Each structure stands twice: as C-alpha cells, then as structure tokens.
A and B are shown apart, each in its own frame.
Chain A
Amino acid sequence: MKPEEAMRPDSQPAQDASGPGGAAPPGRRRTAGRGPIRRLFHSLSERTIVSLIYLCGISAIVFVFSIFYFIFREGAPFLRDGFDFQKFFFSINWMPTSEVERSYGILALIFGTGAVTLLAMVVAVPFGLGTAVFIAEFCGRRTREALKILIELLAAIPSVAWGFIGMVVMGPLIVRVTGADVGANALNAGIIVGLMSVPIIVSIAEDAIRAVPDDYRAAAEALGATRWQVVYKVIFPAAKSGLLAAVLLGVGRAVGETMAVLMATGNAVNIPADGRFPFFHALDSVSTLTATIASELGEAPRIGALPDGSYPPAAHHYQSLFVIGIALFVITFAVNLTADLVVKGIRKQR
C-alpha cells in the first residue's frame, strides 16, 4: 500500500521525461517531507522494478511468438516450394538425402511418436494416478512429504541420464525378458518416457484430488463406503477433469521428449504396426519427430537461396526439419491447450 501511494504522484512527470533513470526531478519536490534524494531513489527504484516485472510478465509471450516466428521462417521455403501436404503427412518415406528421389514423409515418425507416447502413458497413467491417490488419500503426513520430495527428485533427473538408463539397463533387460531382437525399441523408450512423465502427472493429479472438498469424503464414509470405494466412486468422478489435465500434460511431456527417446528408440523409420498379429509391435525400433530433428539438424546443410530466389533440392532437408518442428509445435500446443481448457473447466464448476 505505502509504496504505491508514494509512487503515484511521481509517476506522471517521470513518464513525460525519459523513463526510469531519466531526467532530474522538478524543483517543486523539494517541499516534500522526507528529503528529495531519498524520495527520488524510492520512486525510481519502484518504477524500475515495476517495469522489470512487467517485462518479465510479457517475456513469455515474446519468446513463444519469436520461437514460432523463427521456426516458421526457416521452414517457410519448403512450404512454399511445392509442399505436398498429403505426401508430407501420409507417406512413410523419410528419404531426405536420397540420390534417386528425395522424399519427405513423416507418417512413420508420427507413428513412432504416437507409439512411444502411448506406451509411455500405459506406464505413466497407472503409476502416476496411483501415486497421486496414495499421496493425497492414503498415506500419513510424513510419508507424503518424503514421497513428494522423492518425486520431485525424479523430475530433476536429466533426460540424457534417462536415455543412458534406457540404453544400458532397459535395453538388455527387455531383450532378456521378452526375447526381442534388439534392445533399442519403442517399448524401451515408452517405459523410459513414461517414468519421466510420472512426476508431472503425480503433482497435478494430487492437486486435483486434494481439491475435492472433504464433505464429499465425509458424506461417502457416512454412507458406509470403504476407502477404496470413496476413491473410485466419489473422488475420481469429482476430480476427473483435473486428472485428465494431468494425463494430458504427461502426454505433452512424452511427445516433446527428445534426448532419452533418441537414445532408446533405435532411430528406425518404421511404423510399428501392421496386419500381422498382434498388430502393434512394441518391440520394433522406431524413430520420433523430435529425435529426427535432433539427430539430423546438425548435419543437414543450411543452404541459402539461389540468385533467382529458389532453393536447390538439397536445401529442403534442413527446411523440412523445421516444418516437422512446426508440426510438433502444433501438436504440443493443442495438447497443452486442451489440458488448460480442461483445468479451466474445473475452476468454473466450482
């Protein structure tokens, strides 16, 4: 309150001057009570901090838009020069350096991302929601604090360490247990990414569960429900949008994960599904959108435009990776937006 009051009378003249750190104060201020230097300092620092906070506030918007702008700018020539929408999204042929016919089809990469995400959620959803229920409903205060710290620790493990675990531990384990032909496959990456998504799911799902009013629990228990019945008959329905949002944010995490996936999937352009039983082959190696960008961008030559403004075919590899980036951006944006709207939905209900 007080600083605001102190600032208000000063703010008008200083804006007329050149902002924080600008012109000297007008002489009339000398009549003010607490000494001019101190007041000046006070108002300047106040204004500087406020404008800094304002800058921080809008920086996220600036960053998002400039990232989108730069990705789009790099990818734009590819979109302009005879971009074949159908071929890009519905062809499995990812042959960006072919000498016969360069082709840019990301269908297999989309399937790879989808397969890894699906498997990740198969791992992460039961684990994440189970942990959240346990933390929010079943365990004592001390266990809860300990568990929360441990789960935050899980979130702090760098993805390259996860990838390493996938390569060195999970790969041989999968080969031994399932008899898979190769350890680097969709299942491996799915498990790893699933474990990586657990913390985000736990923390959001736990919030959602704890937000369910205690009256609900009391009422259910009064009717003679067991603790488990309370959870799945009362709490799950009451917290369902929060739980859905938790899962969706987990999906967003899984779609965007790069390093661990790069190390664990085997990087094979391959659709892990076909007509043969069991139709979905989790033990096949796959490649994802993110991993393709990460592994190929370093070597794809960035070639400038020819004098007539067109680009040689070799330039399209680099550009197409940015178009994949745009596609990824759209996917994760859609997932996060859905999660956001779902969360907003809960708030409105209350």
Chain B
Amino acid sequence: MGRLAARLPLVGLLAAFGCGGGSSSGKPNAGKPAPRTVVRNTGSDTMVNLAQMWAEEYRRISPNASVEVSGGGSGVGIRDLAQGIVDIANASREITASEKAQALKNTGKTPQEWIVGYDAIAIYVHRDNPVQEITFEQLAGIFGKGGTIERWSQLGAAAEKDRIIRASRMNNSGTYVYFREHVLAKQDFKLGALGMSGSKEVVELVGHTPGAIGYSGMGYKTAAVKFVSVAAKAGAPAYAPTFENVRDKKYPLARSLNMYTLGEPQGETRKYLDWILSPAGQAVVRQAGYIPVAAGQGQ
C-alpha cells in the first residue's frame, strides 16, 4: 500500500484506458494518424481522482492529447516536476521555498502555481460515534504533541470504544502538512498515530474502527463514516464541510488544490490548464466532490 506501489497501477490503468480509447477512435480517421501529445501529470493523492476525471473528460474534447495521471503524493509530484519528469504536478499544499529552489536549480525554470479548485479537509469519525462538533483546540489535544486527549469520554462522548485511535497520514503528504500547519499551528504530531498511505485509506480505516478519528479530503466520504463539524475556536460556531460552507469560507479547514508547471506552460499543457480553469473543467471539480475555483463557475 506504499506510494511506490500505489503509483504504478494508476499509470497502468490509464495507459490501458488510453490504448482502448485510441484504437476505437483511431478507426474512423485511420487515414491521417495525428501525432498524440502526452501531458504527464503526477502528484497529490487527494487530487488523483479529480485529475483522472479531468484526463478522461479532456480526452473526449481533445482526442489527440493524452493526459497520463498518477498519484504518489504532493511531495512526489513536486519532486518529479523539479526533475523535469512531468509537465504538471498536482499538490494539495503550497510548494515550499526549497522545492522551488530545487526546481530552478535542476531545470532553470521556476514552478508556476495554478489554483484549480478548493478542498475541505474533513474530520471523519465512525458512523456510530456520537460526537457532532469539535474545535481546533480539541483536535490539537488529540493529534498534537503534548495533547492530553486520549479518550472519547474526555470530549464528553460515550463512544463504543473509549480509546481514540488516530488515523493520520504519512509524514510527507500534503494533507498531513496542511493539518499540521492549520490545526496544530506547525507544532508536531503526537507519536503513535496510524500513518495511512492515502486519503481513501484513512476513511476506510475510520469506517471499520469504531474508536477512530481521522482527517482526509471531503470527497472520500462513505456510508460507514460521518463528518464532524469543526469550529476554529471554542465558542465559535461549528461548520460541516459542505459545499456552501467551503465556498463561503466559513468552514475553517479549506485549502486550495494546486497545479504546478515549470515556468509558463506551452502547447498542450497550456491548453489543458486553460480547459481545467474553464467552466467545463470546473464542472468536473464539482462532480468529484470538490469546490470550483470561482463561485458561480461550473455549477
């Protein structure tokens, strides 16, 4: 379930999909085989579903372009971009100064940021957990180093299993970094949390572990889990991670979904990004369970 393993099947799947689509669409105009442009797109695990939906949708509009998507995590995407292996890196966090410098050193180009949507980090608990609301302070008490909240009873909840099982992410995932920055105020995580290798795994684990709490992208909700409303401060109103709350910036754990290119993108990459930011591309964002860039677009 490691990233190494997780990345390969996706590429394979898309490649297979690509071949299938290519041969069927190739028959009618077999006389003039157009050269196929490949846009390579790697990165955030949070965005991988969305990126695949975009790639599939884009194939219909522009049959001569093929977008190859793979996951692996924001760190992997940016690293690949900095090495010039990919055209677009997906990242659910901002690029760091050192990553930028690395890219500039390797390729001579500065990564350029494109905000392509918004995501909310939802706090998930098991379906049967009675907890409805949680504050940043309580979250820091659960997940943060030195935090003293170990049991659900400390939150006044009578859960089926009293011990809190923390479902976290591997220490270089964009979601992990985002959570640390915004909820833990850049302090460290408490040791002993389960380091899950993907957004989906977090939700799955919470789904079959009654005492678990986890954070993951809002697009991964299943019937076995529920959202906990989040308040930035004790006493402040708590908001559920709904489309409206994120759009209106009421939900405190919303972040931008970014794509990075090396310098000003050219050719097919440019066209692809323009399309992603167009109403058609943004409709896919909504479909994938995320929030489009501009309210009013893609609804």
Chain A interface residues (CB < 8 Å from chain B): 92-101, 108, 160, 163, 171-172, 175, 181-184, 259, 262-263, 266-270, 285, 287, 294-304, 312, 314, 317
Contacts and interface: CB of A to CB of B under 8 A. Distances in A.
Given A184-B205, A312-B98, A302 B191 contact: no
Contacts of A172: 208
Interface in B79-110: 79, 98-99, 102, 105
Contact of B2 (A171, A182, A294): A294
7 contacts: A97-B171, A98-B188, A163-B1, A181-B161, A267-B197, A268-B191, A270-B191
B76 interface: yes
Interface string B151-179: 00000000001010100001111001100
Contacts of B176: 97
B72 interface: yes
A268 B189 CA distance: 12
Interface of B: 1-5, 7, 72-73, 75-76, 79, 98-99, 102, 105, 161, 163, 165, 170-173, 176-177, 180-181, 186-189, 191-197, 205, 208-209, 211-212
Chain B contact residues: helix, strand, loop or mixed: mixed
Ranked 8 nearest A-B pairs via Cβ: A299-B172, A298-B3, A267-B195, A299-B75, A270-B192, A97-B171, A295-B2, A266-B194
Contacts of B208: 171-172, 183
Contacts of B2: 259, 262, 294-295, 298
Contacts, number: 107
B205 A99 contact: no
Contacts of B3: 295, 298-299
A142 to B, nearest CB: 40
Contacts of B99: 301
A314 B163 CA distance: 34
B98 A182 contact: no
B192 A303 contact: no
Nearest to A167: B1
A336 B251 CA distance: 56
B194 A182 contact: yes
Contact of A296 (B163, B170, B187, B211): B170
B195 A108 contact: no
A312 B205 CA distance: 36
Contacts of A304: 102, 105
B72 A299 contact: yes
A277 to B, nearest CB: 16
